[in-house]
Amino acid sequence: MAIAVELQAPDIEPYRRSGSGTEFVHVLDSGKPGPQVMVMALTHGNEICGAIALDRFLGMGARPACGRLVLAFANVAAFGRFDPANPYASRFIDEDFNRVWTREVLDGPRESVELRRARALRPFVEASDFLLDIHSMLEPSPPVMICGPLEKGIRFAFDVGVPRDIVSDTGHSNGTRMRDYGGFGDPSSAKNALLVECGQHWERNSERVAWQTLWRFLRTTGAADPESAQREIEPALGPQRLIRVTEAVIANSPAFRFARTFTGLEIVPHRGDVIAWDGDQPVRAPYDNCVLVMPVPNNVKTGLTAVRLGREETR
């Protein structure tokens, strides 16, 4: 299905020169003590809502109230190939930028466009106390905050206050995300990170979700100037809910298909209900009120995750 590209990719060329020593990385220093807070856009080159938010923020001339604020456009090489006529093509060049975040991989001998960029951004990521990584999704789906497996991430997501749905998960088997890197994934560290999925890549609303999440994140970390935050932040749409991922459903055959159309975050009411068919084998809900997290509806590759399942927790 072709999805309309409602957003316009911003011209980020003016941000190439930065004064930080690294292209497309801007460090705003308040001159006052405080945490280093980092916001990352374009971790995937075709997820443009984050770039729009950073472009708008930098264009306002906004400054952090304390500490240092690092604003980075990550996979600029892939973004440089973004073409509204073929918007699926520019997620990455050689490999997924968001699966290389371990010391072993970053220090290792392997080379790729994304590894080079990750190595350039690594000192900024390592020096940051708080990180927000702004993403969007291929399929139309409600926005969701991915907070990782730790209690500190869950608390952080509730403190930020949007989006409504929070998913606690352990990441992906095929590589480590920036959100889980180093101190962010260490329960004994005070560092904390969030990954927001703002909705479908190119839908108008994802731009608004990115902007609201950015401002609330900056307010929560103390980086936002209170007057600007007051002006920019809209009321939240309602109370948040936490979904804790319990397992991934892997497609074991090319004939994997869902039992009906799921767009994500639907609740399958009863244990045993059929969620999907893998060849002629039913895939059943393992417990009551099973939540479907980011299903991949079309042509999921054999051996890859078709959907993750989670339990809703109230708190």
Point out which residues bind Zn ion (CB under 5 A). 44, 47, 135
Q: How far apart are CA 131 and CA 151, in angstroms?
A: 16
In this complex, which beta carbon is closest to Zn ion, that of residue 47 or of residue 207?
A: 47
Burial class (CB in 10 A: 0-12, 13-18, 19+), 165: buried
In this complex, which beta carbon is closest to Zn ion, that of residue 44 or of residue 68?
A: 44
Q: How far apart are CA 150 and CA 300, in angstroms?
A: 29
In this complex, which beta carbon is closest to Zn ion, that of residue 44 or of residue 308?
A: 44
Least Å from the CB of residue 187 to Zn ion: 25
The helix or strand, by DSSP H or E, that contains position 205, with its residue range, turns out to be helix 204-221
In this complex, which beta carbon is closest to Zn ion, that of residue 47 or of residue 180?
A: 47
Do residues 256 and 178 touch, judged by C-beta distance below 8 A? no
Which residue minimizes CB distance to Zn ion? 135
In this complex, which beta carbon is closest to Zn ion, that of residue 24 or of residue 276?
A: 24
The CA-to-CA distance between both ends of the chain, in Å, stands at 38
Q: How far apart are CA 254 and CA 126, in angstroms?
A: 40
Least Å from the CB of residue 131 to Zn ion: 14
Least Å from the CB of residue 233 to Zn ion: 24
Least Å from the CB of residue 96 to Zn ion: 9
Least Å from the CB of residue 138 to Zn ion: 9
CA R_g for the chain: 19
Distance between alpha carbon 7 and the CA centroid of its chain, in Å?
18
Strand partners, 308: 248, 293
Rounded to 5 degrees, φ, ψ at 294 are: 45, 65
In this complex, which beta carbon is closest to Zn ion, that of residue 30 or of residue 263?
A: 263
Least Å from the CB of residue 250 to Zn ion: 20
